[in-house]
Each structure stands twice: as structure tokens, then as C-alpha cells.
């Protein structure tokens, strides 16, 4: 799987380093949600975002793209890093068989 990290998530984030990850800042941070969606669809990316618009849209659509929606409140960067390091393996595994994975602070939900 390849992941497209939305502009509302940290750019310099160790968890999302490597060839499987592209940040919107590396493409064009002025892209609209529609442009991000189209690019992810064409390139078969999973969109990772805090933006509910993507998870709302995938409910009525079929992949690609798939969506990982990070639904946690504001956290200090260190706290967010620790949280995502714990939550990411489960979310990454679930997105392989689901079109939407929602990461909450205490649970992970998915939609087939």
C-alpha cells in the first residue's frame, strides 16, 4: 500500500518516512480536497487525513482511494507521535480489507 498524507497532518513525522509515503506538501499543498482525491484515485493511494470530508465521501464511493481518518483532538507533537506509533500498525493492516479506517483516541473503527 501507498499512503498520501494530507496537509493537516505533520510533514516531518518519522512514522511516515519511506517510499510508501507521500505528503501533500511534496506535491502541492494548495490542492483542494477534490484534487487530492483525484490524485489518490489515479495513483491508488490511501489518503491519511484528519479531514472528515474524505471519510464522508468514501461512504458513498468505492475505492480507490481508501481512507484512514485520524479523529483525535489536538495533541502535543510528542503525544501524537507516540499515539500514532501505537495505532498505525492496526490501521495499516485494516485498510487492506476496508475502504475506511477511523482512528479514535481509544478505538479503531472500520467500514468494509
Cα separations in angstroms, 46 against 64, 74, 76, 79: 8, 23, 25, 24
pLDDT given for residue 78 in this prediction: 93
Core vs surface per residue 13-22: b (16+ CB within 10 A) or e: eeebeeeebb
Mean pLDDT of 16-34: 94
* Structural domain spans, the chain: 2-111
pLDDT given for residue 12 in this prediction: 86
**Burial environment of residue 111 by CB neighbours within 10 A (0 to 12, 13 to 18, 19 or more):** middle
Helix (H) or strand (E) holding 93: helix 77-94
Q: How confident is the model at residue 110 (pLDDT cuts 50, 70, 90)?
A: very high
Mean pLDDT of 34-62: 96
In this predicted model, what pLDDT tens digit does every residue of 58-90 receive, in sequence order? Answer: 999 999 999 999 999 889 999 999 999 999 999
Amino acid at each position: 500500500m501507498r499512503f498520501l498524507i494530507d496537509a493537516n497532518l505533520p510533514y516531518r513525522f518519522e512514522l511516515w518516512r519511506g517510499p510508501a509515503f507521500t505528503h501533500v506538501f511534496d506535491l502541492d499543498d494548495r490542492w483542494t480536497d477534490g484534487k487530492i482525491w483525484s490524485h489518490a484515485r489515479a495513483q491508488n493511494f490511501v489518503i491519511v487525513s484528519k479531514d472528515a470530508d474524505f471519510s464522508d465521501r468514501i461512504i458513498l464511493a468505492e475505492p480507490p482511494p481508501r481512507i484512514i481518518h485520524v479523529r483525535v483532538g489536538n495533541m502535543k507533537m510528542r503525544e501524537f507521535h507516540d499515539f500514532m506509533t501505537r495505532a498505525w500498525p492496526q490501521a495499516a493492516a485494516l485498510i487492506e480489507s476496508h475502504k475506511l479506517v477511523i482512528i479514535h483516541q481509544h478505538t479503531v473503527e472500520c467500514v468494509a
